[in-house]
Amino acid sequence: MSITTKIGDRKTSRLLSGEEVAKDNVRLETYGTLDELVAHLGMARSLLKDSPVAKEIRNLQVDLFRVGAELSCTDPSKNKWAEPTTKTHVEILEGKMKALESQIKLPRSFLVPGTTPASAALEVARTVSRRLERRAVELSKRGEYANDQGLIYLNRLSDYCFLLARTVEKEAGIPFDAKDR
């Protein structure tokens, strides 16, 4: 079996559910953005070998594979790999966010990213997660993604990445009121 399918030679790609779609299809753009997010999270994780945040990031990456499988199917219920995002998934993410919020002091102003390499990578992930949410909303408006819990989950992702970045900075001893932030 080869990694090269040659389907792309026709300017198309195959969804996990089997349909062949144009390379510029909104669904393809949506889960391609999710793939980009997972890669950026991997970069952040690679910079945090000994941090508990590295484990949190890996857990998020694995959960995002679930979300990607859902987004790459026109009908997730007909694919054994696609598990729809549920209220439970949202609640788990919100619980993680609440735990992080209880451990850090949130800033009262905008922050300039780049305080540490890992927090900067998480800020890139945060912005990519916002783009992912916008693409999923577009897919939803087209009637091609009807999972409200999935959209809520995607809405929480950027906040979670923000909190992870602040946690990394706290671990590095960076105060929120530092003048060179």
**pLDDT for 25-59, tens place per residue?**
899 999 999 999 999 999 999 999 889 999 999 99
Radius of gyration of the chain (CA): 18
Do 87 and 94 meet the contact criterion of CB atoms below 8 Å apart?
no
**How does residue 132 score in pLDDT terms, banded at 50, 70 and 90?**
very high
Q: CA-to-CA distance for 24 and 133, rounded, in angstroms?
A: 17
Per-residue pLDDT at 122: 98
Average of pLDDT values for 100-106?
88
Per-residue pLDDT at 114: 78
pTM above 0.75, yes or no: yes
Check residues 140 and 110 and name the one with the higher pLDDT.
140
Mean pLDDT score across all residues of the chain: 88
Residues 6+ apart with CB under 8 A from 136: 30, 71, 145, 150, 151, 154
Name the 3-class secondary structure at 13: strand
Per-residue pLDDT at 178: 53
**How does residue 3 score in pLDDT terms, banded at 50, 70 and 90?**
low
Domains of the chain and CATH, by start: 26-171 (1.20.1200.10)
